[in-house]
Chains A and B, each alone.
Chain A
Amino acid sequence: MVVVEGLCHWYGSGEMRRQVLQQVNLTIQPGEVVLLTGPSGCGKTTLLTLVGALRQVQQGHVRVLGQDLNGSSRRQRQQLRQRIGMIFQGHNLLRCLSAEQNVQMGSDLLPNLGYRARRDQAREWLRAVGLGDHLDKLPHGLSGGQKQRVAIARALAAHPRLLLADEPTAALDKQSGREVVDLLKRLAREQHCAVLMVTHDPRILDVADRLVQMEDGRLIAAPVPEPEPAL
């Protein structure tokens, strides 16, 4: 699914050149939920953008969904991104589109599917994230947790095999943060979709199948904490 070997990355050039990733190795199996934690500025997001084909690989080896990203063209990366779902810290929904239309921007990427089928899929996804009653609401009419759930529906609507999430709970309170990650994990499981989630949030670490910690551009394996006992 994802194979990263000996990945190094630098920002800037000349004197200002600064290494953010050093010899990173990471493998994600299909359907696996991997959480990546670590202090800010340690290179988590950079790793995510490299795996998400949003940046050109400088040194090392990255293979995502069977495609080599070393020396890939803009076009190849764009096509690969269609098969990767992305969830952002800010929900990044399109302000001028309703919840349903936002999700359909995801399903519109699917080839050979009629408009009606794509729209019905979008509605299906919104029902799956529990927003069946808010199809026509604009993002500013939704709460933070609802917006993030729309974003999850949008990311899954394109039938990705890999989901990348960057601090999806950062802007949410404990309760809705919990709901969002549980939902994310459940739906990813159902779709047999692997998840790589960057998070700071210690409250959600237990959803991980595997926890990876990063420090100063290097990865350290860490034990997955036990889920909180249900009350």
Chain B
Amino acid sequence: MSGLPGLAAIWSRRKIPLSWLLLTRQPARLAVALAGISFAGILMFMQFGFRDGLFDASITVHKLFDTDLVLISPRSSSSVSMAGFPRRRLVQTLADPDVAGITPVHWNLVLWRNPKDLSTRSILALGFEPGDPLFTDPGLAAKAKVLNQRGRVLFDELSRPEFGPVAEWFREGRTVESEIGGKRVRVGGLVALGVSFGADGNILTSSETYQQLLPNTPPGSIEVGLIRLRPGSDPAVVIKRLKDSLPKDVNVLTKQGFMDFEKDYWRNSTAIGFIFTLGAAMGFIVGCVIVYQILYSDVSDHLPEYATLMAMGYRLPTLLGVVAREGLLLALLGYLPAYAAGQGLYSLVRSATKLPVYMDTPRAVLVFSLILVMCMGSAGMAMRRLGDADPAEIF
């Protein structure tokens, strides 16, 4: 309760809220300003959302793996061009005292035939031993049993609809069969993984079925090796040991490193980051222009009144503070609708594109900071007009 007298003292020292009244007693101008700021905010939310969503979408599958370290070939550049390496290398890691378990994974894009309209489309196929742990999701082990039968696949029900109504048909109890690379496969179950940048859909198979579907795969070659460590071991130390002991034909990464490897590919070898950051910058500039226009004309219109206040003995910094608070109020009032609209548009984007675009705190803070900079910067520019207020000229 000790804070209350202090607060009460501050409260009783308050003055007429001039900034608030200047804004709210001109509703048309305020509405234009808020529409402009919200529009800029929404634009920034969308552009940043798309950018981050696209990068996050590139690792939809990567995030699911139940692993501490990942072995890949140094010739792999991204999930759409994974190169093979000898399976032996993965087995060799078992010699390390901290390695608890391994899962060899086959990884490649295959052509899936839509069972309804018979068109083909590229889908990501992951092959593994059905008994091995693959994903952190504990439900997979039970579903994976069906893969012990040859020619069975688990179909990702979150795949894009272009692959056909596989999940619907399967749920209806129909036998869903399709072709992959000319080989017949039957859907033995559904999993929920999610689409990523490189893959519009996913299927899981056993290593044996995978070899059948892709007969050109050299025997004993895998694309990804999952390494699980004993609890309490330091991944950095194990990586160092493995790098020293293994030949240079494999790369050892942490799970995070594996995800970064994928994101970096899309970030560095595509223009996505640049395009969307540029889009957000456009929104920022448009917002700046609008807020500056509004505040500048507001100050100009009230110049005789500001001069009157100076004649009455108000200090110039006090009046600059009025303009600054107008900027701050505009930022706060303009951000709220932008935030709400951003939430709505994100859910629209999620349902339309299946991109994982969510309103996360860092982005909400980033956009607010940009709006704040926009409004305060414009207020700062508009303040220069106040220097023209000469109290000697008003008589």
**Which residues on A are within 8 Å of B, measured CB to CB?**
45, 48-49, 52, 54-55, 78-84, 86, 88-90, 92, 94-97, 101, 104-106, 108-109, 114-116, 138, 154, 158, 166
In the bound complex, residues from chain A placing their C-beta under 8 Å from that of B12 are 114-116
Of A49, A84, A116, which is in contact with the most chain B CB atoms at under 10 Å from its CB? A49
B308 close to A (CB within 8 Å): yes
A-B contact sample (15 more), CB < 8 A, given A92-B394, A104-B16: A54-B391, A79-B313, A81-B391, A84-B313, A88-B394, A88-B395, A92-B304, A94-B309, A96-B18, A96-B22, A96-B26, A109-B313, A114-B13, A115-B14, A166-B395
Q: What are 5 of the A-B contact pairs (CB < 8 Å)?
A: A49-B392, A52-B311, A88-B394, A154-B312, A158-B313
Nearest to A155 among chain B residues (CB) is B312
On whether A82 and B312 interact (CB within 8 A), knowing A96-B26, A115-B12, A166-B395, the answer reads yes
CA distance A68 to B308 in the complex (A): 23
Q: Are B394 and A78 in contact (CB under 8 A)?
A: no
B305 close to A (CB within 8 Å): yes
In the bound complex, residues from chain B placing their C-beta under 8 Å from that of A109 are 312-314
Q: Are A105 and B16 in contact (CB under 8 A)?
A: yes
In the bound complex, residues from chain B placing their C-beta under 8 Å from that of A92 are 304-305, 308, 394
B25 close to A (CB within 8 Å): yes
CA distance A116 to B305 in the complex (A): 24
**B313 in complex: contacting residue of A48, A81, A88, A97, CB < 8 Å:** A81
Q: Are A86 and B305 in contact (CB under 8 A)?
A: no
B21 close to A (CB within 8 Å): yes
In the bound complex, residues from chain A placing their C-beta under 8 Å from that of B308 are 88, 92, 94
B88 close to A (CB within 8 Å): no
Nearest to A95 among chain B residues (CB) is B305
Interface size classification for chain B:
20 to 34
In the bound complex, residues from chain B placing their C-beta under 8 Å from that of A97 are 16, 18, 21
Nearest to A114 among chain B residues (CB) is B12
In the bound complex, residues from chain B placing their C-beta under 8 Å from that of A82 are 312-313
Nearest to B308 among chain A residues (CB) is A92
Q: Are A78 and B392 in contact (CB under 8 A)?
A: no
CA distance A116 to B11 in the complex (A): 10
In the bound complex, residues from chain B placing their C-beta under 8 Å from that of A79 are 313
Q: Which residues 173-198 of B have a CB within 8 angstroms of A?
A: none
In the bound complex, residues from chain B placing their C-beta under 8 Å from that of A105 are 16, 18, 309, 312
B307 CB to closest chain A CB (Å) equals 8
In the bound complex, residues from chain A placing their C-beta under 8 Å from that of B392 are 49, 54-55
On whether A86 and B21 interact (CB within 8 A), knowing A92-B304, A94-B305, A105-B16, the answer reads no
B15 close to A (CB within 8 Å): yes
In the bound complex, residues from chain A placing their C-beta under 8 Å from that of B315 are 78
B6 CB to closest chain A CB (Å) equals 14
List the 5 closest pairs (A to B, CB-CB), nearest first: A82-B313, A114-B12, A81-B313, A96-B25, A54-B392
B42 CB to closest chain A CB (Å) equals 29
CA distance A172 to B255 in the complex (A): 83
CA distance A78 to B310 in the complex (A): 8
CA distance A154 to B305 in the complex (A): 13
Of A52, A105, A158, which is in contact with the most chain B CB atoms at under 10 Å from its CB? A105
In the bound complex, residues from chain B placing their C-beta under 8 Å from that of A106 are 312
Contact with A along B383-395 (1 / 0, CB 8 A): 0000000011011
In the bound complex, residues from chain A placing their C-beta under 8 Å from that of B313 are 78-84, 109, 158
A132 CB to closest chain B CB (Å) equals 19
On whether A54 and B16 interact (CB within 8 A), knowing A49-B392, A101-B21, the answer reads no
B5 CB to closest chain A CB (Å) equals 13
CA distance A54 to B395 in the complex (A): 10
In the bound complex, residues from chain B placing their C-beta under 8 Å from that of A55 are 392
Nearest to A80 among chain B residues (CB) is B313
Q: Which residues 1-60 of B have a CB within 8 angstroms of A?
A: 11-16, 18, 21-22, 25-26
In the bound complex, residues from chain B placing their C-beta under 8 Å from that of A89 are 395
Q: Are A45 and B395 in contact (CB under 8 A)?
A: yes
Nearest to A151 among chain B residues (CB) is B308
B148 CB to closest chain A CB (Å) equals 78
In the bound complex, residues from chain A placing their C-beta under 8 Å from that of B18 are 94, 96-97, 105
